[in-house]
Amino acid sequence: MGIEIEKIRGLFPVLHQEVHGKPLIYFDNAATTQKPQAVLDALTNYYEKDNSNIHRGAHALADRATRYFEEARETIQHFINARESAEVIFTKGTTESINLVASTFGRKFIEKGDEIIISTLEHHSNIVPWQMLCEEKGAILKIIPINDAGEILFDEFEKLLSAKTKLVSIVHASNALGTINPVKKVIAAAHAVGAKVLLDGAQSTSHLTIDVQDLDCDFMAFSAHKLYGPTGLGVLYGKREVLESMPPYQGGGEMIKEVTFEKTTYNEIPFKFEAGTPNIGDVIAFKAAIDFINQIGKETIKAHEDELLSYASEQLSQIKGFFPVGTAAEKVSVLSFNINAMHPYDVGMMLDANGIAVRTGHHCTQPLMKRLGLEGTVRASFSVYNSKSEIEKLAEGVSRIARIKNK
């Protein structure tokens, strides 16, 4: 069964407003998705009824909060098909998850002369932590090149692999272009030389069915706010044996087994990596977001988003002066484009005047933009609550803007 669009839209209060006197059309979903009422309710319910610190409390509220928090971890475990909930670590987001791996796995296992491979498609948060680590350790960062469509060159990747490769950290789906990387092949090839693999799942988790066991990745990082959940919360998935081999991230409460002034022993995973009071309310609300996705079904969501993407590509490509950026064969519902001789920011501002929210600029992928010879793009990214009629409005808006320029 397809998406019942009006019913779904009814679940998202924020969508029902006017911007500059026009009904809001929200096409900035790759930056962050809107939140359904169930997520907002879970958050208020928690603070109204259950607010308490978790794991050590000897009272009813603490028990309840702990139960809901750990149930959320299990929901996420099933969402990505991890073997066990202990492999799900809560962080502040994709960025912190990647930094956690860089500073713990990196601290212990990366040495002078070792190599880390990333791709040209990476978000800054999957570039900078590795540059910092390489600088500290005297390791070397290698970059997988791409073709003009925005696809990684797999043969070139294979040439970069060697016994020196300790880690491959690659985006599953590009936020700037939408490209879905052939990560299963990447992981198998990396494992063949003994390297571990981290997937940046910030964009893929919202569009694709994720099975970390089938992919066989060693780590996956993602953010709740791109999955209809709260901001400032994310997950690091890691294989048990890899997580156990790593030193802790931050020191503090919760991550210890026993502390004496002479020596501290560390807690089991996942707690070893979760120092301090976690973001309890948001974790509980994140469960509501995953439940929302599961109720509709990932396959149904993907089919809807794919349809929106091809409709948008078809509508916009008829406009004189429009050119798409990133034309990979496999894409999530991200349409990056430019209009001849127009600055993306100007296009974004003009669309905003029509109530249409898009993102413009380099999308935190400056090296990718440089490779493509662009300053930036206009990016429309589609989600479960977007409709074909909204895309028609986008096409009308872009067409009007392109006409001004073509005059």
Q: Which residues are catalytic?
A: 364
Separation between Cα atoms, residue 47 and residue 53, nearest integer Å: 11
Q: In the numeric block, which tokens belong to residue 92?
A: 């502040």
156-185 residues near ligand PMP, rule: CB under 6 A: 171, 175
Cβ distance 78 to 298 under 8 Å? no
Q: Which stretch binds ligand PMP (CB under 6 A): 89-97, 304-312, 323-331, 385-393?
A: 89-97
Q: Which stretch binds ligand PMP (CB under 6 A): 5-13, 33-41, 120-128, 177-185?
A: 120-128
Q: According to CB under 6 A, which one of 28, 151, 200, 390 is a site residue for ligand PMP?
A: 200
Q: Give backbone dihedrals phi and psi of 180, rounded to 5 degrees, phi first.
A: -95, 120
Considering the complex, state which of residue 290 and residue 350 has its C-beta at the smaller distance from ligand PMP.
290
Positive/negative CA dihedral, 50, 56, 57, 60: positive
Least Å distance, CB 220 to ligand PMP, is 12
Size of the site for ligand PMP (CB under 6 A): 14
Interaction between residue 119 and ligand PMP (CB under 6 A): no
Q: According to CB under 6 A, which one of 29, 77, 95, 383 is a site residue for ligand PMP?
A: 95
Separation between Cα atoms, residue 98 and residue 223, nearest integer Å: 11
Question: What residue has token string 């109204």?
Answer: 48
Q: According to CB under 6 A, which one of 29, 34, 104, 125 is a site residue for ligand PMP?
A: 125
- Residue 338: partners with Cβ closer than 8 Å, 6 or more residues away: 322, 323, 325, 344, 347, 374, 377, 378
Q: Which stretch binds ligand PMP (CB under 6 A): 195-203, 250-258, 264-272, 305-313?
A: 195-203
To which H or E segment does residue 185 belong? Answer: helix 183-192
Q: Give backbone dihedrals phi and psi of 375, rounded to 5 degrees, phi first.
A: -80, -35
Considering the complex, state which of residue 66 and residue 175 has its C-beta at the smaller distance from ligand PMP.
175
Separation between Cα atoms, residue 4 and residue 170, nearest integer Å: 35
Interaction between residue 93 and ligand PMP (CB under 6 A): yes
Least Å distance, CB 379 to ligand PMP, is 11
- Provide the binding-site residues for ligand PMP, judged by CB under 6 A: 93-95, 123, 125-126, 171, 175, 200, 202-203, 223, 234, 364
